[in-house]
């Protein structure tokens, strides 16, 4: 290769292919930059998380750089596809992208990816298994609280044992119809798994009616089936001649329940456990011993081994006592196959009560109803909906249906234009909530139970709270939007906690376009607080706790909204010892929006210690430029020295959660606690005349580091009442051992009683809880201390 010499340094002559390579990379970047994330993955904007994951996996297997070693643009192309997946799989990021586009996102998402083998063998291992239902944070609670039995596998994609377990879960085919089989990916649902106490993979659990049991045996199909069957309970009633037959059958008929009866010569007959469990709650199950009840069996004209469904006909039964006065229908079953018996049981369940425009208002005035709205031909789920009557019977929720083809005016008045399910809460026909979750039984049952307890109303133009005096939270959403569907159960939880203080409503923007346009709704979900004439858009996590914190902050703001004038007056003109933390942000900035709820939470945690403010740099751009703000969010701490009013410290930490920010802010304050040595511990704490609260810690202990700022808050709260100290148990092991310390951190209260003392353990790491405990203890001790002082004073006078 020929070289050029420049100042004694040899440079290779540029190769002509380099500009071409640069052009290819530049074109790839432009190609990806201009493409919509949904288009990149080849999915619609209505795609579910599972559909997004499956689409990404297909692209990963073909576009991954490991499969395209000769393509110089493969890395950049796959980075863009990976970024699209990382954003769209996350509910909060997806909402920000829908609302602000890429400029609303942090640049960190999708910056790294896994090997091709990971996507081939470890990624989405249950997505193609139809028997296994993938559950995520949005539908987990509804599933396990539906009343059905669930076998849940909590797994992690990289866990080899999880893949071995995957083959064992073929038992789901055998258990189909008996229990539900679910899987939770703890890689994608880390918070859910931590909340459920999952600390190893795979973790297998049974959920049944609030009961949770972990499977700990060898993961074979037989063991899993045996374990699962323990939780399936069925009552099988033996029927015999006379009154017991009459009473048992008629009691069931009185509540609209039919009977599944086997005629046999042993104890239980030919209906297997599977048949019974499937039918449990849907029909009563019984058996007749035809060797001892020959006459009774003969009256039914049956032989040994026959099974029948005894169906109640409501129109002809006049009494609950005399069996002969009611007309019943027998359907003989010519099979012992569990699936066929199950299907015939479902077919013979009574249909949902049909409500018409004439009976609709009367029926719904005083009772709670789950109504299935249909349009002509019954859907494939109609038979499944029959089971709702059995599942909701104990919740006192009646179940019916409305044919919108026959009663179109009724459905139009409710703005119902397609098949759906809705809960009417017993307060008339206008107080109802439409179900927008999965059209599966467990989801509908969970929705019905939550909805009747909650205070969320489906809004329409005629009941929209635009001019209402009382405060309303309105969720503008689209039914196809996964983050919207995940938010709905959280709204129900929040409405229960704020009952009587705020009303909750949801507005479907796919139906009420003009109303949503009036409020400039650009992304879903958009949640707005209507408080008289003022509107406040909610920006935060899609959780009940996040909503409650936001509302509490509206009532009693923890963050001071600053403009140039108030910034100069309050921050730069701050008093001696006054410290300010200020967030300079822009509303369109995604990381700023992610910081917003954490900043409010931090402000509440720092209440009374550090003042917290925020400046909108989109609104006050020249001012922010004058303060040398160059990027958003810019977080600054202005210390308590007013003589240096322009001095500040910028936050450069990686984590922007409330705890990390609080720890950083408190670090600027002078310490309120003191470090104790063995000598000072003995002289000041054990032999001194002050009350002490101590933190025994070890420098290497993570929980100790997490607790350290909380202890400083405690020290400041109790300043003047109780002294606060810290003992390093790594440096002073003997001191901690003699004090009986066996775990870190340990909080001990040493009250002064006039004699040598020992510590009292306080089992909390919350500053407010510890403060309350210490003050209650001081109150209990105050009479004792007062009496001791009265005894000591005469002695001192005689001296």
Q: What's the CATH number of domain 557-666, 3.10.580.10, 1.10.443.10, 3.40.30.10, 3.40.50.1820?
A: 3.40.30.10
Rounded CA-CA distance 478/484 in Å is: 7
Closest among 274, 153, 163 to 224, alpha carbons compared: 153
Residue 678 gets which letter from DSSP? H
For the chain, what is the largest distance between any 2 Cα atoms, rounded to a whole number of angstroms?
A: 117
Rounded CA-CA distance 733/136 in Å is: 46
Query: 198-214 as b/e, with b when 16 or more CB fall inside 10 Å?
Result: beebbbbbbbbeeeeee
Rounded CA-CA distance 723/781 in Å is: 16
pLDDT at 332: 66
Helix, strand or coil for residue 392? coil
Residue 463 gets which letter from DSSP? G
Task: Output phi, psi for 421, to 5 deg.
Answer: -125, 140
Query: Which residues of the chain have a pLDDT value below 50?
Result: 1-32, 267-280, 309, 311-327, 788-799
Per-residue CA distances from 202 to 43, 114, 128, 386 (Å)? 31, 21, 19, 35
Complete DSSP assignment for 263-327:
EESSSSTT--HHHHHHHBTTBEEEEEETTT-HHHHHHTT--TT-EEEEEE-TTT---SS-GGGS-
pLDDT single digits (tens) 665-719: 888 888 889 999 999 999 999 988 899 999 999 999 888 888 888 898 889 889 8
Locate CATH 1.10.287.110 in the chain.
Answer: 33-121
Alpha-helix residue ranges (DSSP H) falling in 564-689: 564-566, 590-605, 621-626, 658-666, 678-680
Task: Give the torsion through C-alpha atoms of 584, 586, 587, 590, to 10 deg.
Answer: -100
Q: How far is CA 596 from its chain centroid?
A: 20
Instruction: Find the distance separating the first CA and the last CA of the chain, reported in whole Å.
Output: 105
pLDDT at 511: 93
Class of domain 353-368+385-549: alpha beta
CB-based contacts of 428, cutoff 8 Å, min separation 6: 361, 364, 365
Closest among 783, 747, 786, 744 to 765, alpha carbons compared: 747
Q: Which fold has domain 133-229?
A: Glutaredoxin (3.40.30)
Pairing of strands 649-650, 456-458: unpaired
pLDDT at 504: 94
Pairing of strands 284-289, 259-264: parallel
Locate CATH 3.40.30.10 in the chain.
Answer: 133-229, 236-347, 353-368+385-549, 557-666, 674-788
Relative orientation angle of helices 91-100 and 482-497, to the nearest 10 degrees: 110
What would the two tokens of residue 393 be? 């019977």
Q: How many helices (H) and strands (E) does the chain have?
A: 31, 32
Task: Output phi, psi for 214, to 5 deg.
Answer: -95, 140
Closest among 393, 337, 332, 348 to 368, alpha carbons compared: 393
* Order of strands, sheet of 634-638, starting from the edge strand that comes earlier in the sequence: 560-562, 611-616, 580-585, 634-638, 649-650
Q: Which fold has domain 236-347?
A: Glutaredoxin (3.40.30)
Cβ proximity of 173 and 220 under 8 Å: no
Cβ proximity of 491 and 473 under 8 Å: yes
Instruction: State the pTM of this model.
Output: 0.61
CB-based contacts of 460, cutoff 8 Å, min separation 6: 414, 415, 512
pLDDT single digits (tens) 7-24: 233 333 333 434 444 444
Rounded CA-CA distance 519/219 in Å is: 55
Helix, strand or coil for residue 134? strand
Cβ proximity of 46 and 481 under 8 Å: yes
pLDDT at 593: 80
CB 314: neighbour CB atoms within 10 A?
A: 10
Neighbouring-strand partners of residue 5: 10
H or E element in which residue 549 lies: helix 544-555
Rounded CA-CA distance 126/128 in Å is: 6
Rounded CA-CA distance 225/704 in Å is: 44
What would the two tokens of residue 368 be? 């709670």
Rounded CA-CA distance 284/276 in Å is: 9
Cβ proximity of 100 and 590 under 8 Å: yes
CB-based contacts of 675, cutoff 8 Å, min separation 6: 725, 726, 727, 728
Q: Can the peptide bond before residue 185 be classed as cis, meaning omega within 30 degrees of 0?
A: no
Cβ proximity of 390 and 281 under 8 Å: yes
| 674-788 homologous superfamily | Glutaredoxin (3.40.30.10)
Relative orientation angle of helices 482-497 and 544-555, to the nearest 10 degrees: 60
Class of domain 33-121: mainly alpha
């Amino acid at each position: 290769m020929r070289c050029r010499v420049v100042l004694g340094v040899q440079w290779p002559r540029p190769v002509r292919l380099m500009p071409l390579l640069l052009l290819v990379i530049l074109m790839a970047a432009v190609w990806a930059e201009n493409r919509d994330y949904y288009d990149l993955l080849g999915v619609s904007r209505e795609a579910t998380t599972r559909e997004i994951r499956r689409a990404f996996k297909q692209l990963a297997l073909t576009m991954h750089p490991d499969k395209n070693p000769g393509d110089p643009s493969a890395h950049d192309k796959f980075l863009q596809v990976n970024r699209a997946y990382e954003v769209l799989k996350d509910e909060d990021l997806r909402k920000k992208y829908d609302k602000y586009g890429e400029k609303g996102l942090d640049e960190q998402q999708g910056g790294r990816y896994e090997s091709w083998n990971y996507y081939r063998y470890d990624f989405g291992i249950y997505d193609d298994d139809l028997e296994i239902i993938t559950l995520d944070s949005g539908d987990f609670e509804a599933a396990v609280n539906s009343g059905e039995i669930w076998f849940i596998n909590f797994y992690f994609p990289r866990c080899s044992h999880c893949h071995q377990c995957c083959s064992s879960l073929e038992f789901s085919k055998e258990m189909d119809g008996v229990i539900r089989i679910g899987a939770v990916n703890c890689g994608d649902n880390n918070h859910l798994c931590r909340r459920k106490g999952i600390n190893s993979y795979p973790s297998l659990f049974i959920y049944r009616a609030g009961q949770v049991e972990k499977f700990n045996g060898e993961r074979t199909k037989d063991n899993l089936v045996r374990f699962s069957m323990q939780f399936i309970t069925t009552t099988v009633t033996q029927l015999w001649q006379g009154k017991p037959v009459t009473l048992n059958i008629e009691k069931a008929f009185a509540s609209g329940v039919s009977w599944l009866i086997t005629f046999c010569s042993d104890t239980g007959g030919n209906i297997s456990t599977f048949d019974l469990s499937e039918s449990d709650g849907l029909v009563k199950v019984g058996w007749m011993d035809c060797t001892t009840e020959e006459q009774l069996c003969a009256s039914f004209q049956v032989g040994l081994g026959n099974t029948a469904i005894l169906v109640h006909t409501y129109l002809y039964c006049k009494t609950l006592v005399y069996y002969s006065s009611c007309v019943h229908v027998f359907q003989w079953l010519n099979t012992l196959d569990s699936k066929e018996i199950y299907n015939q049981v479902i077919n013979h369940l009574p249909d949902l009560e049909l409500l018409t425009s004439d009976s609709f208002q009367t029926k719904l005035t005083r009772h709670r109803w789950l109504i299935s709205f249909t349009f002509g031909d019954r859907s494939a789920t109609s038979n499944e909906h029959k089971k709702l009557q059995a599942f909701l019977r104990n919740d006192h929720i009646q179940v019916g249906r409305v044919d919108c083809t026959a009663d179109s005016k009724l459905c139009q008045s409710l703005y119902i234009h397609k098949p759906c399910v809705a809960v009417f809460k017993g307060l008339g026909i206008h107080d109802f909530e439409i179900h927008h979750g999965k059209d599966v039984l467990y989801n509908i049952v969970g929705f019905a139970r939550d909805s009747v307890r909650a205070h969320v109303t489906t809004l329409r133009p005629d009941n929209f709270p635009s001019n209402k005096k009382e405060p309303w939270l309105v969720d503008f959403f689209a039914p196809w939007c996964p983050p919207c569907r995940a938010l709905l159960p959280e709204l129900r939880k929040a409405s229960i906690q704020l009952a009587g203080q705020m009303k909750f409503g949801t507005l479907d923007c796919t139906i009420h376009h003009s109303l949503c346009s009036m409020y400039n709704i650009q992304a879903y979900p958009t949640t707005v607080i209507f408080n008289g004439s003022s509107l406040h858009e909610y920006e935060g996590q899609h959780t009940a706790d996040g909503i409650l914190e936001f509302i509490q902050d509206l009532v009693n703001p923890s963050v001071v909204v600053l403009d140039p004038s108030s910034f100069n007056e309050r921050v730069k003109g701050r008093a001696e010892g006054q410290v300010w933390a200020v967030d300079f942000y822009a509303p369109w900035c995604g990381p700023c929006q992610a910081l917003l709820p954490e900043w409010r939470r931090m402000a509440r945690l720092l209440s009374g210690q550090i003042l917290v403010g925020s400046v909108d740099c989109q609104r006050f751009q020249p001012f922010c430029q004058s303060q040398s703000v160059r990027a958003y969010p810019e977080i600054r701490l202005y210390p308590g020295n007013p003589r240096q009013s322009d001095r500040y410290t910028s936050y450069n930490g990686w984590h922007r959660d409330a705890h990390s920010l609080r720890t950083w802010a408190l670090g600027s304050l002078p310490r309120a606690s003191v470090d104790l040595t063995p000598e000072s511990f003995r002289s000041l704490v054990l032999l001194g005349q002050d009350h002490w609260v101590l933190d025994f810690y070890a420098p290497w202990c993570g929980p100790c580091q997490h607790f350290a700022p909380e202890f400083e808050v405690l020290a400041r709260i109790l300043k003047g009442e109780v002294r606060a100290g810290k003992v390093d148990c790594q440096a002073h092991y003997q001191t901690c051992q003699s004090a009986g310390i066996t775990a870190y951190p340990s909080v001990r209260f040493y009250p002064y009683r006039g004699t040598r003392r020992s510590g009292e353990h306080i089992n909390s790491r919350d500053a407010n809880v510890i403060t309350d405990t210490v003050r209650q203890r001081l109150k209990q001790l105050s009479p004792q201390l007062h009496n001791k002082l009265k005894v000591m004073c005469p002695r001192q006078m005689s001296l």
